[in-house]
Amino acid sequence: MKAVFISRHGGAEVLECGERPRPEPGKGEVRVRVKACALNHLDLWVRAGLPGVEIPMPHILGSDIAGIVEKLGKGVSRPKVGTPVIITPGIGCGKCKHCGSGWTSLCDQFMIMGFRRDGGYAEYVVVGAKNVIPVSTRYRFEEWAATPLVFLTAYHMLVTRAALKKGETVLVHAAGSGIGSAAIQLAKTLGAKVITTAGTDEKLAKAKKLGAWGLINYQHANFTDEVKRLTKGRGVDVVFEHIGPATWTGSLASLAKKGRLVTCGATSGPKAEIDLRFLYMKQLSIFGSYMGGDGELRKVMRLLSLGKLKPVVDSLFPLEQARSAHEKMESRDFFGKIVLTI
Ligand SMILES: [Zn+2]
């Protein structure tokens, strides 16, 4: 089958387009004909190499996959061949207490598609039958591919961890990122007032269309000062963090008394400082969050199917141009998801 894979870690130049063996579905598995696969920052990290993480080579990247069920393995009767599906980006053992309670990402055997197992930069992929979720024809494959990882992560962060409530105010960093564009919509759907940041006014105009109320261009203003101004000195109830040290101190300073910060990422680096006096005097809470569970993904897919949330696609690239797609992601010049079509 045609695939884009890496044989060593490095820059975008290590992405090779070529032939890989077509995988056969085993017992309980299905083979999906991939139609679209969205990029995530994870793809760039896996491509570059992560300290202490061994990736078997050659390796196929890609966590966000939409396609059609093409072949059923032994013991599988559904979904039927021909069903349009997305693939759950995170895969647990399905047997442990964490998988059983819906906290799949805490499973000891938790794997992410395209991270420690082959992903969707290919014509075909094989997964367990329980790891595909049928989708409606409301959106095209490239739009469905733009949804699983970011909406699942945003749901787990805002609903399960930070318990964002109607009438509360939330600061969502980086409106133009895939996760930012998902979080703005979800927070708005939950009835919260959304303040967001971006580096250009063009991105902020798009964020407004997604439902953001407070718009901050971080190139021209200090976001903490702006949050204080917009909330009349009170601060926000929740900060949706995924940037890390570049925004961390300002994020904590943007919280109201009893505020909650929830974080899922560290794009600007892994270490950040906390002034403990500030943490305890204002009685703040900090939540870590890592993807989410299958039950949450099904809930969020239902909201998408109902049109309450919408995929945000920035641009499409044919699989052969995966290198250009990676360069686009590194340029930060995008709004929403960059998607490969196959
Ligand atoms: Zn498990």
Measure 128 CA to ligand 1 centroid, in angstroms: 14
Residue 198 has a pLDDT of 97
Spacing, Cα 63 to ligand 1 middle (Å): 19
Q: In the chain, how long is the greatest CA-to-CA distance? A: 62
The dihedral through the CA atoms of 153, 154, 160, 161 has a sign that is: positive
**Model confidence pLDDT, tens digit, residues 320-335:** 999 999 999 999 899 9
Q: What is the pLDDT of residues 10-29, one digit of tens each?
A: 999 999 999 999 999 999 99
- Ligand 1 centroid from CA 73, angstroms: 22
Residue 99 CA to ligand 1 center (angstroms) comes to: 4
Ion ligand 1: residues, Cβ under 5 Å: 92-93, 96, 99, 107
Query: Ligand 1 center to residue 196 CA distance, Å?
Result: 35
Distance CA 204, CA 175 (A): 7
In order of 170, 212, 310, the CA distances from 185 in angstroms are 12, 8, 8
Query: Is the distance from CB of 93 to CB of 142 less than 8 angstroms?
Result: no
pLDDT digits (tens, 9 = 90+) for 86-132: 999 999 999 999 999 999 999 999 999 999 899 999 999 999 999 99
CA of 216 to the centre of ligand 1 (A): 41
Give the pair of three-digit tokens for residue 185: 């919509």
Show the tokens assigned to 268.
Answer: 């600007």
The alpha carbon of 67 and the centre of ligand 1 are apart by a number of angstroms equal to 25
CA of 11 to the centre of ligand 1 (A): 33
| Cβ count near 192 (within 10 Å) | 24
93 alpha carbon – ligand 1 mean position (Å): 4
CA of 112 to the centre of ligand 1 (A): 13
Compute, in angstroms, the gap from residue 310 CA to the centroid of ligand 1. Answer: 30
CA of 209 to the centre of ligand 1 (A): 39
CB 107 within 8 A of CB 99: yes
Give residue 299 CA to ligand 1 midpoint distance, Å. 20
Contact 195, 212 (CB under 8 A): yes
Q: What is the pLDDT of residue 116?
A: 86
Mean pLDDT by 10 residues, the chain (342 residues): 98 97 97 98 95 93 98 97 97 94 94 95 97 95 98 98 98 96 98 98 97 97 98 98 96 98 93 94 98 94 95 98 97 95 98
pLDDT, tens digit, 9 for 90 and up, residues 222-233: 999 999 999 999
